Structure 1
Amino acid sequence: MSKHEVKKGSLVAFLPLVVFIFLFIGSGILTKDFSSMPLNVAILIAAAVALMMNRKETFSKKVDIFTKSAGHPNIILMAVIFILAGAFAGVAKGMGAVESTVNLGLSLLPANLLMVGLFVIGCFISISMGTSMGTIVALAPIGVGIASETGIPVALAMATVVGGAMFGDNLSMISDTTIAAVRTQNTKMKDKFKVNFMIVLPAAILTLIILGILTRGHAADLVGEYPFELVKILPYLAVLVAALSGAHVLVVLVGGTIFAGVIGLLDGSYHVSTLLQAVADGVMTMEDLAIVAILIGGIVGIIQHNGGIDYLLRVITSKIKTKKGAEFGIASLVSVADIATANNTIAIIITGPLAKSIADEYGVDPRKSASLLDTFSGCWQGILPYGAQLLAAAGLAAISPVSIMFYSFYPILMGICCVIAILIGFPKFRQMDKVSSSVE
C-alpha cells in the first residue's frame, strides 16, 4: 500500500478532545443537566491539557502552534460570523421581525406542517446559498418563534433548521465542502451532485415524514389571529435574497443588521441608543461561541502536530482490502477527521488526497468518492455538539447544543443511507469516459 503511506502518528494526541467530550457531555449525562458544565470552561480545560502534552516541544513552541491554528482564516471568519449573526438576530428580534415572520408562517401553513415547511425552506436556501451557517443564521430565529407559539420543543426546531442547512450545504454547487470534494477527487460538480442526490434523497423524505408525525399533535395549540407586518419581514427576505445572489456572508449579515435597524428606527421600535444596545446585546449572546471556535481551532492544531490525524490515517488505511472496504475506508477517514476538527471543509481537505489515492487503487468511481467525502463529513458535522452548526443554532436559541443532537434526524439518516449505498453498491456506474469525467 505504498501509494498512500502515512506517518505512524499517536492516539494519545486526542487526549484533549477526549477530555472535552467527557467534561461537556459526560457531566451532562451524570447530572442529567447538560448546562452543568459550561461549554467555554470545558474547552478551556481541554486547551490546557493540549498545551501540557508533548514534552519534546517547548511550551513556547506549543503556544505558537496553538495560536497559529486558532488564528487560521477559516476559524477567525467563523468567529466573526458568530458575532455578526448575534447582532443581526438581536436587532431583528427587537424590531419585531421574528414575531411577524412566525405569524405569517402560522397564518399560511397548516399547523402540523410547520416543521416540515421549515425543513424544506432550509433545504432550498442552503442549496442556493451554499452555506449551512448562513442558512442557520437566517432561519434559527424563525424556528425559535414557531416553537414558542406551538409548544414544539425548541431543540427539535433547531435540529430541523440544521438538518435543512446540511442538506443544501452537502449538495450546493457553490458550497466550499462540495468544491473541496470535487477538486480533490478530480470529478465534475454536476456528476457529483447526481450521485450525492440519489444517496441522500431517501434521508430527506424520511425526515419530512418523521417531522410531520412528531409535530402533528401540536395543531390544537394554534388558535386565534396571528397579526404580522410585511415591512418587519423584509430584513429576513433581504438577507435571503442577498445570500442567494452570491453576496459574502459578512456583507449579508452587516447589511441585514443595518436594514433591520433602519426599519426599527422608522417605525418607532428603536431609538438610536436602544438600537445600539440591541446590537451589543446580540453580539454578547454569541461571544462565548466565537471564543470556543477559536479555542477549538487551537486544540486541533496541537492534535495534528502531535500526530493524531496521522494515527487515524494509518489505522484506517491498513484495514482496506477490497473496493467496498476502500469506500468504507474513505468514509471512515473523513468521519474521524471531522470529529477531530469539527469542520467538514477542513476534514475534506485533509483526507481528500489520500482518499483519491485509495479510490484510484481500488477502482472507486471518483463521483462516489467525492460524494462519500461530502456526505459523511456533513453527517457528523450535523451531529457534533461542538461543531459550528449546532453551536450557532444553540446560541441563537439559548439552549444546549447537546439537546439538539437528540432530534438530528436528517444527519443520522443521511449517514445510514450512505452506509447502505456502500453495502449495496449504489448507484451503479457505467464505464466512465475519462475525458468527460475529469475537471475541465
Structure 2
Amino acid sequence: MSKSEKQGSIVALSPLFVFIFLFIGTGIFTGDFSNMPLTVAVIISATYAMFLNRKESLAKKVEVFTKSAGHSNIILMVVIFVLAGAFAGVAKGMGAVESTVNLGLSLVPGNLLMVGLFLVGCFISVAMGTSMGTVVALAPIGLGIADETGIPVALALATVVGGAMFGDNLSMISDTTIAAVRTQNTKMKDKFKVNFFIVLPGAILTAIILGVITSGYELSLTGDHPYDVVKVLPYLVVLIAALVGVDVLIVLLGGTVFAGVIGLINGSYTFTSFIQTAAKGIIRMEDIAMIAILIGGLIGLIQHYGGIDYILHSVMSKIKTKRGAEFGIAALVSAVDIATVNNTISIIMTGPLAKNIADEYEIDPRKSASILDIFSSAWQGFLPYGGQMLAAAGIAGISPVSLMPYSFYPVLLGVCGIVAILIRYPKFQAQPKELQYKKAQ
C-alpha cells in the first residue's frame, strides 16, 4: 500500500459525522433525543455512505456493509443482547428484581445504594473480564433499585456501566487487557500494577460523588422490605457462574432457564407464560440488536474508504516529544474507538503503531499498554452508541444519551489517564529494550 493510500481521507469519515449530527445534534436542537431514533440515524448515514467513492459499484459497497454488519463480533453482541433480554424479562416476571431490591434496601442505607452498586460492578467486572457481561447481570438490579428508591434510572444504569468499565480496563482476562499487553510486549501483572494505581483515584472519586448526589433521596418504600431469597438466586447464580469463568452465553441461557424453573415452582409462571415472557424480553432488545448490526456495517464502510487510515496518519504526524508521544497514543486509540465503538478492536488496530511510537520515544511498555486500555475504555463507557451504553439503556427502555451526564467513572478514567501523562506518572527505571523483551516472554 502506498503512503498516500495509508493517509486515507477525511471524506471517508463524513458518514460518521452525519450520524453524530443526526443523532446527537437533533437531540440538542429539539431538546428530545428520542426525536431521532438510532436506527433511523444509522440508516440515513449508511445510505449517504453508499454514495461515496463513485468509482466502486453499489454491489461492492453493499458487500462491504453486509460483511462488516455480519462480523462474528457483531453477531455475538446481538446474541448477548437477545439472551440478556430474555433473562431480564423472565427474572423480573418471577419477582427476582423486587426481592433483590428489597434485600439491598434491608442491608444497605439508601444513600449508599449507588456506591454499593458501583463497587459490586467493579468487583464483578474485574473477576469476569467482560463489561458486557457485567452490564447484563447488574443492569436489571440497578433498574429495580431506581424504580423503588426514586433515584434517576439513568444514574443507576450509568453507575452500572461505570463499574463494568473499571474491570474491562483492569481484568487479567479482559480482551482489552490481553490486546494491550500483547501489542506492547509486556507482562499482564506489570500492566495491571501500573494501570491500577493510575485509575484508582478515579474510582474513589466516583464512589464519593455517587454517595453525595444520592444522599438526599428518600426511599419510596416504607416499613419492612419483604424479600424471598429463592427469588434472588437467579442473579446470584449468574454472578457466581460469571465469576468462575463460565461463558457469558451459557450464563445467560442457564440463568433464564433457572429463573423460569423457580417461577414454575412458585406459581409465578405456567409453561406458556414463561415462554411468552422470555419472548417479550427478547423483543424488547430487538431494536438494540439491529442498531449494533447497522453500526457494524457503517463502520465497515468507513474503514473501507480509508477513514481509519486518515485518523492514524493525522495523529502520527503531530508527535514531537515523549509526553506528546504518550498523548499521541491516547489520541490514536481514542479516535479509533470513537469511530469503531469497540475498545478491543481499537487496541488491536492501533497497538502496533503505538508500539512503534513507544519504542521511538522510549516509553515504558507498561505505560503504553495502560494508555491504550485506559483511553479506549473511557470512551467506550461514555459513547451513547457503544455496546455497553446501548445494552444498559435497552434494558431500562431509555435513551443511551440520558446516561451521559451521569457517566462519572468513564470521564474520571480519562482524566486520570491525562493526569498520569502530564505528571509522567509512574516513574520507571530505564531498561534496555533487550531486557524488556525478555521479561515479556
Tell whether the 8 Å contact from 1:176 to 1:345 is kept in structure 2 after alignment. yes
Deviations 1:55-76 (A, max 9, x none): 1111111111111111111111
Alpha-carbon distance in 2 for matches of 1:24, 1:308: 20
Deviations 1:286-315 (A, max 9, x none): 111111111111111110110101111111
Deviation, 1:431, is 2.8
Which amino acid letter does the alignment assign opposite residue 208 of structure 1? Answer: A
Deviation, 1:438, is 3.5
Alpha-carbon distance in 2 for matches of 1:307, 1:436: 33
Q: Which consecutive unaligned segments of at least 5 residues does structure 1 have?
A: none
Give 1:85's aligned residue: 84
User: Aligned in 2, Cα 1:327/1:6: closer, same or farther, shift over 3 Å?
Assistant: farther
Give 1:38's aligned residue: 37
Q: Secondary structure at the match of 2:406?
A: coil
Give 1:439's aligned residue: 440
Alpha-carbon distance in 2 for matches of 1:94, 1:174: 33
> In angstroms, what is the RMSD of aligned CA positions?
1.3
Q: Spell out the pairing of 1:184-223 with structure 2 (5 A cutoff).
A: 184-219=183-218, 221-223=220-222
Which amino acid letter does the alignment assign opposite residue 266 of structure 2? Answer: D
Q: What TM-score do the two structures reach when normalised by structure 2?
A: 0.97
Deviations 1:6-54 (A, max 9, x none): 8110111111111111111111111111111111111111111122211
Number of aligned residue pairs: 437
Alpha-carbon distance in 2 for matches of 1:437, 1:342: 34
Give 1:302's aligned residue: 301
Deviation, 1:236, is 0.5
Which amino acid letter does the alignment assign opposite residue 440 of structure 2? Answer: V
Give 1:381's aligned residue: 380
Alpha-carbon distance in 2 for matches of 1:99, 1:436: 53
Alpha-carbon distance in 2 for matches of 1:244, 1:13: 42
Q: Spell out the pairing of 1:1-400 with structure 2 (5 A cutoff).
A: 7-219=6-218, 221-400=220-399
Give 1:403's aligned residue: 402
Which amino acid letter does the alignment assign opposite residue 412 of structure 1? Answer: V
Alpha-carbon distance in 1 for matches of 2:438, 2:423: 23
Tell whether the 8 Å contact from 1:188 to 1:437 is kept in structure 2 after alignment. no
User: Aligned in 2, Cα 1:147/1:432: closer, same or farther, shift over 3 Å?
Assistant: same
Which amino acid letter does the alignment assign opposite residue 71 of structure 1? Answer: G
Deviation, 1:437, is 6.2
Q: Which consecutive unaligned segments of at least 5 residues does structure 2 have?
A: none
User: Aligned in 2, Cα 1:262/1:87: closer, same or farther, shift over 3 Å?
Assistant: same
Alpha-carbon distance in 2 for matches of 1:279, 1:128: 28
Tell whether the 8 Å contact from 1:342 to 1:386 is kept in structure 2 after alignment. yes
Which amino acid letter does the alignment assign opposite residue 127 of structure 1? Answer: V
User: Aligned in 2, Cα 1:6/1:323: closer, same or farther, shift over 3 Å?
Assistant: farther
Tell whether the 8 Å contact from 2:154 to 2:403 is kept in structure 1 after alignment. yes
User: Aligned in 2, Cα 1:315/1:152: closer, same or farther, shift over 3 Å?
Assistant: same
Which amino acid letter does the alignment assign opposite residue 12 of structure 2? Answer: A
Alpha-carbon distance in 2 for matches of 1:291, 1:114: 33
Q: Percent identity?
A: 70
Which amino acid letter does the alignment assign opposite residue 333 of structure 1? Answer: L
Which moves more between the two structures, 407-416 or 4-13? 4-13
Tell whether the 8 Å contact from 2:420 to 2:426 is kept in structure 1 after alignment. yes
Deviations 1:380-429 (A, max 9, x none): 00110000000000000111000000100000011011101001100111
Q: Secondary structure at the match of 1:314?
A: helix
Deviation, 1:351, is 0.4
Alpha-carbon distance in 2 for matches of 1:221, 1:116: 19
Alpha-carbon distance in 2 for matches of 1:270, 1:44: 39
Q: Secondary structure at the match of 2:440?
A: coil
Alpha-carbon distance in 2 for matches of 1:22, 1:435: 45
Deviation, 1:224, is 1.4
Deviation, 1:430, is 1.7
Tell whether the 8 Å contact from 2:162 to 2:409 is kept in structure 1 after alignment. yes
Tell whether the 8 Å contact from 1:111 to 1:222 is kept in structure 2 after alignment. no
Which amino acid letter does the alignment assign opposite residue 439 of structure 1? Answer: A
